[in-house]
Amino acid sequence: MPVHARLPLWEDKSPAQKLETLRQHLLDLYGYQFSEARTKVLAQLAAHAPADEKEALDVQRIKTLVAAHPNIFSMNCEVGHITASAAVIEPRSRRTLLHYHKRLGRWLQVGGHAEYETDFARVALREAREETGLPDLIHFPSSAAPVPIDYDIHTIPQSIDRPEHLHLDFRYVLMTRQPDALAPAQGESARFRWLSCADALDMGEAIDDSLRRLLRKAFAYLPSEQADQ
């Protein structure tokens, strides 16, 4: 909620007070700009049924962070920001696509950052298309009104110019029927693997438990005669 103007007046404020006033004004603007998006996200989170204790804790923490930080949709939020990713599956061969993240040193689903966007289903689809080049990717099992099937919070280590921060990852399922059309865009990682669900789950420390959870959920959408055992 916007804060009423307060004494001392601007010309009488100390440098620290001026910075704090500007910070509050900026948060007011973010709060106004993203009010509808934050309400939508909180409703999605409230309707979500977590699969395990870790996801339940992450969902609750995301709710708290969304409520506390009006700029949580922006990468300038120091505590962290929302990202969008997706498990890509090919139903006929019963495989999923993973790519190797060099900096984090593990195999991951595709995904990335929002670019001043609040439609995270669209972000997940765009990032997947850019990273894989797959031309026919669509949300699955429904492309009409896709919602995240999984939520995860993970810590991104400090880099040269960025502090340690959180990724609040909203995770979807995408489907392709053209796995051989894989053609990553220039500058994207070219290290990919198509794996059966069973083989992916058996990768040990090369993938984390939250990815295993996402893959189990994704393959559960396939008809029983197609799903991995």
pLDDT one-digit tens code per residue, 197-213: 999 999 988 899 999 99
The answer to whether residues 59 and 48 touch, using CB atoms and an 8 Å cutoff, is yes
Q: What's the pLDDT tens digit per position in 117-134?
A: 899 999 999 999 999 999
pLDDT band at 2 (very low <50, low <70, confident <90, very high): low
Residue 228: pLDDT band (50, 70, 90) is very low
24-50 confidence digits (pLDDT tens) = 888 888 778 888 999 999 999 999 999
pLDDT digits (tens, 9 = 90+) for 140-199: 988 788 999 999 999 988 888 888 999 999 999 999 999 999 988 776 678 899 999 999
pLDDT of residue 220: 92
CB-based burial, 50-78: b 16+ in 10 Å, e otherwise: bbeeebeebbeebeebbeebbbbbbbebe
Contact assessment for residue 177 and residue 92, using Cβ atoms and an 8 Å cutoff: yes
Contact, 219 vs 96, CB < 8 A?
A: yes
Q: Average pLDDT for residues 202-228, to the nearest whole number?
A: 84
Measured distance CA(141)–CA(179) in Å, rounded: 18
pLDDT at residue 229 tops 60? no
Phi–psi pair at 27, nearest 5 degrees:
-65, -35
Predicted pLDDT of residue 98: 95
- Binned at pLDDT 50, 70 and 90, residue 3 comes out as low
Spell out the domain ranges in the chain: 78-220
| CATH of 78-220 given 3.20.20.70, 3.40.50.150, 3.40.50.300, 3.90.79.10 | 3.90.79.10
Burial class of 229 by CB neighbour count within 10 A (0 to 12, 13 to 18, 19+): exposed
Q: For position 119, what pLDDT does the model report? A: 94
